[in-house]
Amino acid sequence: MGKFVNSIDEFFTFCEENDVQFVDLRFTDIKGTWHHVSYRKSAVTREILENGFPFDGSSIDAWQPINRSDMILKADVPTAFLDPFTADPTVILFCDVYDIYKERMYERCPRSIAKATLKHAESLGIADAAYFGPENEFFVFDNIQFVDNPNEAGYKIDTEEGEWNSNTSYSDMYNSGHRPGNKGGYFPVAPTDSMVDLRAEMMMVLEQVGLEVILGHHEVAQGQGEIGIVFSDIIGAADNVQKLKYVVKMVAHLNGKTATFMPKPIFGDNGNGMHVHQSLWKDGKNLFYEKGNYANLSEMALNYIGGVFKHARAIAAFTNPTTNSYKRLIPGFEAPSILTYSMQNRSASCRIPYGSGEKSTRVEMRFPDSTACPYLAFAALMMAGLDGIKNKDIPIGPMDEDLFELTLDEIREKGIPQMPHTLRGSLESLIRDNDFLKPVFTPEFINAYKDYRFKRDVWPDEGRPTAYEFKTTYQC
C-alpha cells in the first residue's frame, strides 16, 4: 500500500480513506530491532511530518547519553502502510533518525547508513542503483522455555514436527506420526508439512502490507519455513525484511505458536540463514552481466565478490552479529563458511543462480543470517563490494566441487579463506579492517558497535558455563 502514497497530501488522503486513528512511527536500532511510538492521527500535522517527531535517544541500546538524549524521527512518508494486526486502523511509517546536536542524519541510524551507501556508490560513479534480494528462513515452534540464572541455565523448544515427539502421548489429540525428521523437511507435502496453512496466511498478510510474494515452502529442518519475496533497492529490501519478520512473528503468535529467526536453535539440524542476492546497476544496465563469461559474470561482479571475500571476516560482525550465528556456520548444514564462488553450487559462500540472463544475473552471498540488522548488513556487503571494484580484487574460484567434503587441511592447502569461527573473531577483524567502511560508517559508529557487541554478546557468552561443558568436564 505504501507505493500509492507519494506525498504528504496523499498521506492525509490515505488516512481519511482508511479512517486511520493512529500513526505508528517505526525505527530500527543497531541490533536490527524495530521500535515504535504511536500518535493519535489528530495530533499528526503537516508541520510535524515535515520537521520530525521528538523522542528519547538515550533509552535505545548503544545510542545517545542521557545528557544528549533528544533526537528526531523523520518520517519517510512514501513507506506508509496499514498495520494488519491492530484493532483500530493504524498506519505505519518507516523513520530515519536525525541528530539535533550535529544537525545531520544520525550516524548510528542503520537506515541512514544504508541510504548513505547508495549515495557513496553514486559519488564514485560506479552505480546509481543497488538491488538486494534477501531470503529469510525461520522456525515456528509450539513452545519455548529458557532460563539463565547464576546457578542454572538451559532451554527447551518444542514443535509438533520434532522427531523427539514420535513417542509423545497427547491428552487432546492422537500422535499422527507424520514428521519430517532431522534434515528431512525440504518440500514434503502435508501432513508431514504441518505449516501449509500457516505459511499461506503469512503470505497473504505480507501482500497486504505491500510485499510482492513469490512462494512459500517448508525448509530442511524440523519446524522450518521460508517465504520468498521480490527483490528491491537496498533501502526497500531492508524495509521489507523488517516487515517480513513482523508479519511472520505476529501470524505465528496469533495462531498460538512462536516464530524465530535465530540462526541455530536446534542442535544437529539445519539453521536459519539470510542469503542475500545482490547486483549493481547504472543507467538501467546490469553491471554484473557479461554474456559468455563464467556464469555470465562481468569483471565488475568478480571484483565485487573479491571485495566481499577480502573483508568477509570484518563484514561478519554485521551479517552474522550474534554468538549463535557461528553455531550455524559449520560444515554439513548447508551454511557455507568457505569463501569461494561457484555457479549453482550451494556449498560455496557465493552462489551464482542458475539461468541468469541480462536482467537477472546476480551474486548470492549465503553466509549472512537474519539476526543481522538488514540495513547494516546490506551496507557492509555493498561497501566491501565497492572496495573490491576500486581495487580490482579477484576472488578464489570458481570451485564447482562439494566444498563440504573438503577437510580443513585441504582448505588450507588450496589457500581458500574462511569465515571467522566466533563473534569475537569477527569483531577483532572489524577492529583491524574497517577502512573500507569509513566513507559511510563513521569511526564513532564502528567503535560504538564493536563495544556494544563485546559487552552484550561476547563477554557474557564466554563467561557462562554450558550444559555440554558440565557433560564433558564435571567429572574431570
Q: Which candidate in 364, 369, 393, 457 is catalytic?
A: 364
Give the DSSP H or E segment for 391.
helix 374-391
Kindly list the domain boundaries of the chain, sorted by start residue: 2-106, 129-473
Q: Which candidate in 9, 56, 207, 212 is catalytic?
A: 56
Contact 311, 384 (CB under 8 A): yes
Identify the pLDDT of residue 1: 41
Q: Which candidate in 108, 199, 366, 424 is catalytic?
A: 366
List pLDDT tens digits, range 353-398: 877 788 999 999 999 999 999 999 999 999 999 999 999 999 998 9
**Rounded distance between C-alpha atoms, residue 230 and residue 426, angstroms:** 30
**Rounded distance between C-alpha atoms, residue 129 and residue 385, angstroms:** 14
Residues 6+ apart with CB under 8 A from 86: 22, 24
Contact 226, 135 (CB under 8 A): yes
Q: Above 70 in pLDDT, residue 332?
A: no
Binding residues for L-glutamate are 270-271, 328, 334, 346, 366
Task: Supply the mean pLDDT for the chain.
Answer: 94
Closest CA to 231 of 110, 360, 84: 360
CB atoms closer than 10 angstroms to residue 147: 10
Q: Above 60 in pLDDT, residue 333?
A: no
226 part of the active site: yes
Q: Which candidate in 96, 135, 193, 269 is catalytic?
A: 135
**Alpha-carbon distances, residue 304 vs 64, 102, 115, 194, 434 (angstroms):** 35, 33, 19, 40, 17
366 part of the active site: yes
275 part of the active site: yes
In sign, the C-alpha dihedral spanning 196, 197, 198, 199 is: positive
219 part of the active site: yes
Identify the pLDDT of residue 2: 43
* pTM over 0.85, yes/no: yes
Average pLDDT over residues 68-80: 96
Q: Above 70 in pLDDT, residue 100?
A: yes
- % pLDDT > 70, the chain: 98
Binding residues for ATP are 277-279, 346, 359
**Rounded distance between C-alpha atoms, residue 363 and residue 300, angstroms:** 11
107 part of the active site: no
185: Cα within 13 Å, side-chain hemisphere:
31
Q: Which candidate in 179, 275, 311, 313 is catalytic?
A: 275
List pLDDT tens digits, range 343-356: 877 788 999 987 77
46 part of the active site: no
Contact 259, 247 (CB under 8 A): no
**Rounded distance between C-alpha atoms, residue 442 and residue 462, angstroms:** 28
List pLDDT tens digits, range 440-469: 999 999 999 999 999 999 999 999 999 999
Closest CA to 25 of 69, 60, 71, 74: 74
List pLDDT tens digits, range 122-160: 999 999 999 999 999 999 999 999 999 999 999 999 999
346 part of the active site: yes
Contact 278, 131 (CB under 8 A): yes
207 part of the active site: no
Q: Above 50 in pLDDT, residue 33?
A: yes
User: Top-level CATH class of 2-106?
Assistant: alpha beta
- Cell readout for 410 is 585441504
Binding residues are 135, 137, 219, 226, 270-271, 275, 277-279, 328, 334, 346, 359, 364, 366
Q: Above 50 in pLDDT, residue 301?
A: yes
129-473: what fold? Creatine Kinase; Chain A, domain 2 (3.30.590)
Q: Give exposure, 8-19, as e/b (b: 16+ Cβ within 10 Å).
A: eeebbebbeeee
Q: Which residue has the cell 566444498?
A: 403
Q: Which candidate in 83, 226, 428, 457 is catalytic?
A: 226
137 part of the active site: yes
CB atoms closer than 10 angstroms to residue 134: 26
